[in-house]
A and B are shown apart, each in its own frame.
Chain A
Amino acid sequence: MRALIIVVMLFSILNVSAQQVRNFKLKDIENNTQSFTQLKGSKLTVIDFWATWCKPCVKAIPELNKIYEAYKIKGVEFIGVSCDGPRSVSKVAPLSKTLQIKYPILLDINSEIKSELNLNAFPTLVIVNSNNKIVWVHEGFVSGDQKLVIEEIEKLLK
């Protein structure tokens, strides 16, 4: 028990270097293989880890669409990574199209990229800089969070 408490305390206060996103490859909803390098923004890349069965994820999408439209000319690209497993992956394409998502949607049926980045919630928004380093992570989505995303993008673009 003592060892457990020490380990917990140690790692709760640790603050180590930023995590990096590797050049992963996944299929998009059109059945094309896409790589992170092909899709990343020249300045920033916002990756949205979502799933069709997650209500806050679906709620966030129209807001993310708006932010993407406003910032794509400033070197900010968006990538949607659907973590729907075999049970619900068939719904990703029709839902994405009906929601008119403007940015590419990739299918991570094994949640491999999400696990690699140690993400534990849906939705999770990750902002990656031009050196592929994760500079911001935001879990969940409630009304008003779109302002936080915009503020963070603005701050990182400066």
Chain B
Amino acid sequence: MTKIVKNSICLVVIVLASFNVFGQFNGTNLVEYQFGEAPNDVNAISSIYDRFVANFNYKSFRSDVTLEQFYSEYDGSNYTNISQFSVQYNSDKIQVKLGNFYETIGRGTLLHSFQIPGAILEDLSYRSRHYFNRDILGASVKFQSNNFMTKVLYGSPLNYVFPPNQNSNLRRSDTIAALYSEYTYKNQTLGAAIMHHSNSGNEKLFSMITLSGSISPKISYYTEVSKNIKNNSINDFSDAASYAIYSGVNISLNNIGISAEYKNYNNFLIGSGINEPPALVKEHTYRLLNRSTHVPQPLNESGYQLEAFYTMPNLSVLTLNHTKAINKFGQKFTFNEYFLEYDFMLKDKHDIKLFIDYAEDPFKLEENRISTGLYSEWKAGKNSTIRTDYEFQHFDRLNEGNVNQVLSVGYAYKSKIIGSIVAEHSTDNYLVNSGSKYWLGANLKYKLNNKHSFQLFAGERRGGPACNAGVCYEVLDFKGVELRVTSRF
């Protein structure tokens, strides 16, 4: 750690702590220790990651600082970095942010920033670990009244692919300046945005229009159209144009809820990927389906998603989902998915979830993919539950049958102690040449109180694509021991 960084940290901590007399000083700390092997590792290595977030509030002002540190046996991947620092002013009508902040314009077709709670990202190229977020370094001003809202922002979004020990120009190669305003009249909102984007000397100008609202208490809608207007005329929606169209309608009829969405994205990847048009692909929490998700391609994708919920009088919930996504990259790829889930209580105390899913995913060469599973939580005594989960998946790839399975058995005592053993099996021909591969791991979570919790993992964990809070990323396989301690203060 350099002397300057060390002194800066001490100064921030001392200043914030001393100001506690006048305002409030709060924060969180997440520390994770790993001893084990990632793919391609010959020997197990140890590493420690820490993320410390402190906030200071005084009347309408707020200040935040995030300190990230990572140390392992690979010197080149180590760092101590103040990765976020911000000052905010909040009043009933005005919000001013300076430093690192999060902002999304509309539904994200132009700009989407986010922070995935608890997710630590690791990449095989850098062998460094960092928190998974895309913030913006700059300034924003927002004015909000009951019917009118406008915000102006300027800054550089983070390219989270690069860890904090990489050059800041590389991590923040995009610069944006944007203005978004919306006006609401009788539950109908009309919004408009204009955004200037530059990256490595390339400059682009984007516009966006949104229309949303409620037609009745039972029907609401949302439409967003974004375009690159620097190189194309505003009414050009040809194959060469750069645009994103998203539209959705929601219908609620007593116990039935329906959501229908449509997308059409063409040449709409902005800069290093600072935008994230709505995926319109169901985000599954089931392990195998989450890993099998279709990742949308803003360069060319059209399609729709239909989802219906039916809540029965006994509070059982039936969910149906159908997704279609079409990509044209020289040839046409059509992703199709049909999902059905039934969540119900057995004897008023045992929680059961059943699902079945059918999909065709030509990008991954997966044909006739069938996934099914049973998740059960058995009430065992006053404060204890036993959990048994099983998932099975079969698909054809290159004329070969492939199978994935997950079995998990767990026990929970209130929210205090939660433990589980997870076993996975795969014959996926992208992972194994012949035969099978197995993963076996154990998780234990102990919540000391509402401020401190401990999570221990030991064994082997299967990696692959993962989607969390609407954002998809790659998780590495891991074999070893991992301890995470989370604290609030």
Q: Which A residues form the contact surface with B (CB < 8 A)? A: 1, 3-4, 7-8, 11-12, 14-20, 22-23, 25, 29-33, 35, 51, 53-55, 58-59, 62, 83-91, 93-100, 109-112, 114-116, 118-122, 136-145, 148
User: Which residue among A22, A53, A85, A137 has the maximum number of chain B CB atoms within 10 Å of its CB?
Assistant: A85
Interface size classification for chain B? 35 or more
Contact call B187/A118, Cβ cutoff below 8 A: no
Query: B214 in the interface, Cβ–Cβ < 8 Å?
Result: yes
Shortest distance from the beta carbon of B450 to any chain A beta carbon, whole Å: 5
CA distance A12 to B108 in the complex (A): 36
Contact call A85/B114, Cβ cutoff below 8 A: yes
Q: Which residues of A contact B149 (CB under 8 A)?
A: 33
CA distance A48 to B470 in the complex (A): 19
Some 13 contacts from A to B, beta carbons below 8 A apart, are: A4-B48, A4-B50, A7-B52, A8-B50, A11-B27, A25-B92, A33-B184, A85-B114, A86-B112, A90-B248, A93-B257, A98-B310, A139-B415
Contact call A12/B452, Cβ cutoff below 8 A: yes
**Chain B 26-56: CB-based contact to A (< 8 A → 1; otherwise 0):** 1111110000000000000000101011110
Contact call B144/A138, Cβ cutoff below 8 A: no
Contact call A20/B57, Cβ cutoff below 8 A: yes
Residue of A nearest to B341 (CB): A55
Residue of A nearest to B67 (CB): A7
CA distance A138 to B449 in the complex (A): 9
Contact call A98/B309, Cβ cutoff below 8 A: yes
Contact call B256/A98, Cβ cutoff below 8 A: yes
Our count of residue pairs bridging A and B at CB distance below 8 angstroms stands at 226
Residue of B nearest to A15 (CB): B489
Shortest distance from the beta carbon of B92 to any chain A beta carbon, whole Å: 6
Contact call A143/B261, Cβ cutoff below 8 A: no
CA distance A84 to B147 in the complex (A): 23
Query: B404 in the interface, Cβ–Cβ < 8 Å?
Result: no
Q: Which B residues form the contact surface with A (CB < 8 A)? A: 1, 6, 9, 20, 24-31, 48, 50, 52-55, 57, 62, 67, 69, 71, 80, 90, 92, 102-104, 106-108, 112-115, 117-118, 144, 146-147, 149, 184, 187-189, 212-214, 217, 220, 222, 248, 250-252, 254-259, 261, 276-279, 283-285, 307, 309-311, 315, 317, 343, 349, 351, 353, 377, 379, 382-383, 385, 412, 414-415, 418, 447, 450-453, 469-471, 485-489
Given A93-B257, A97-B257; 17 other pairs, CB 8 A cutoff: A4-B71, A7-B50, A12-B487, A30-B217, A31-B220, A59-B351, A86-B107, A86-B112, A93-B252, A109-B104, A109-B107, A110-B104, A110-B113, A118-B26, A139-B450, A143-B379, A148-B414
